[in-house]
A and B are shown apart, each in its own frame.
Chain A
Amino acid sequence: MSRIEVESEITGNVWKIELKVGDKVEAEDVIMILESMKMEIPVEAPSAGTIVEILVKEEDSVEEDQILAIIES
């Protein structure tokens, strides 16, 4: 079993969290939506697995490379 860190590619705000801890995901499933400079940017699962941690909440500010969630596969 491996733990995969899901990182933010940009600085922005968490607009909407679509999934929750325990949800199973396939690669490219949208975990949350960030808003940055008026853009709605999807944060997608890099691979299939189960979400074991979500480290931010809606309206949080996030930085580039910040870990947003952990997936176990």
Chain B
Amino acid sequence: MKAAVLREANKPMEIEEVQISKPGPREVMVRPIAAGVCHSDLHFMDGSYPYMLPTILGHESAGIVEEVGKDVTYVKKGDSVITCLSAFCGHCNHCLTGHLSRCNSPEVSRKPEEEARISKAGSQIHQFLNLSSFAELMLIHEHALVKVREDMPMDRAALIGCSTTTGVGAVFHTAKVEPGSTVAVLGCGGVGLAAINGAAIAGAGRIIAVDMVDSKLDLAKAVGATDVVNASSGEAVGQIIEMTQGGCDYTFEAIGLKATAEQAFQMLAPGGTATIIGMIPVGTMVELHGVDFLSEKKIQGSNMGSNRFRVDMPRFVDFYLNGKLHLDQMISKHIKLEQVNDALEALKSGQEARHIIMFD
């Protein structure tokens, strides 16, 4: 099959012919129809998050089941599915207490002594986050996908595979935003826009979008922001405290920087909660003013929107189809697999929303 292979950090991916194994027990072969190019892919491509190389990036996709392995009963050939990196074992403490996105069990991967799921000329190509969707086929654990309605457009469904679930889930599950509350979202990329949309669905009274790019702030308004702040002036914290007369009940950092994580905490009202969604580079420390804890301000992390994706994703599909989840605006361009490097370059510029790879 054809795939975009990353062999060295900070170098373009190459389109190569690679081999994919046959589905083993509890494994499913998925033919992706659409795959989003996500900012998280960029973090791994530029090495700010180290990963075993060579690998095939891509972790936000939707497609059709091509073949199932032994013991798979959940899906059959021809089913429409969304994939998710939050593959769950189903029996660890995290899974059994409803926190499937925290599952850290290695059993959804193949063991080191087993044949690799992806290889080239006998050498392993490391599967990325148990998915690797920048490829014509994906061989994944059955607990890394969810069935969805057949009338859901696959390019929109792909977005639900990561950015929507991460942003909306952070609002619904991690922070549990209350109706009428005041929310600020720092960063209006795919995840930030999803958080804004999620806050609107959750009934937040005021939703303040913060970014340095006006076109993204326009998108933010289209998906539910009530106010926007262009942070180019460097005075976002002061502006938001003034606008809200004392700070926000909930803030969401959707960039992955020390400075914006600290700002998300600084712009809280007493008792408020900052939720860090962005992937802050490994080794980076975040500094907070200790006295702020006396006003019961809180800060927390959110991974993949604290999802229970087999429940959440079909609900997000319904939200899209009944007009509450605005996915159409999130897609800036449909591309071919061969254009994946251009899509990642566009993400670096921060000027565009999402490019979606469409497979023939």
Asked whether, in the complex, the Cβ of B51 is within 8 Å of the Cβ of A41, the reply is yes
Does B126 sit within 8 A of A, measured CB to CB? yes
Stretch at the interface among B104-112, B256-264, B341-349: B104-112
Asked whether, in the complex, the Cβ of A40 is within 8 Å of the Cβ of B104, the reply is no
Majority secondary structure of chain B interface residues (helix, strand, loop or mixed): loop
Chain A residues with CB under 8 Å of B51's CB are 39-42
Asked whether, in the complex, the Cβ of B112 is within 8 Å of the Cβ of A39, the reply is no
Does A24 sit within 8 A of B, measured CB to CB? no
Majority secondary structure of chain A interface residues (helix, strand, loop or mixed): strand
Instruction: Write the chain A residue with the least CB distance to B85.
Output: A38
Chain B residues with CB under 8 Å of A40's CB are 51-52, 55, 126
Chain A residues with CB under 8 Å of B294's CB are none
Q: Which of A33, A37, A44, A58 contacts B104 (CB 8 A)?
A: A37
Chain A residues with CB under 8 Å of B282's CB are 9-10
Contact A13 to B126, CB < 8 A, known contacts A41-B51, A58-B112: no
Asked whether, in the complex, the Cβ of A38 is within 8 Å of the Cβ of B112, the reply is no
Chain B residues with CB under 8 Å of A15's CB are 106, 109, 112
Number of interface residues of A (CB under 8 A): 19
Expressed in whole angstroms, the Cα–Cα distance for A44 and B112 within the complex equals 18
Render B105-121 as a binary contact track against A, CB cut-off 8 A, 1 for contact. 01011001000000000
Asked whether, in the complex, the Cβ of B52 is within 8 Å of the Cβ of A30, the reply is yes
Does B50 sit within 8 A of A, measured CB to CB? yes
Asked whether, in the complex, the Cβ of B303 is within 8 Å of the Cβ of A37, the reply is yes
Binding site for A on B (CB under 8 A): 49-53, 55, 85-87, 104, 106, 108-109, 112, 126, 129-130, 282-283, 303
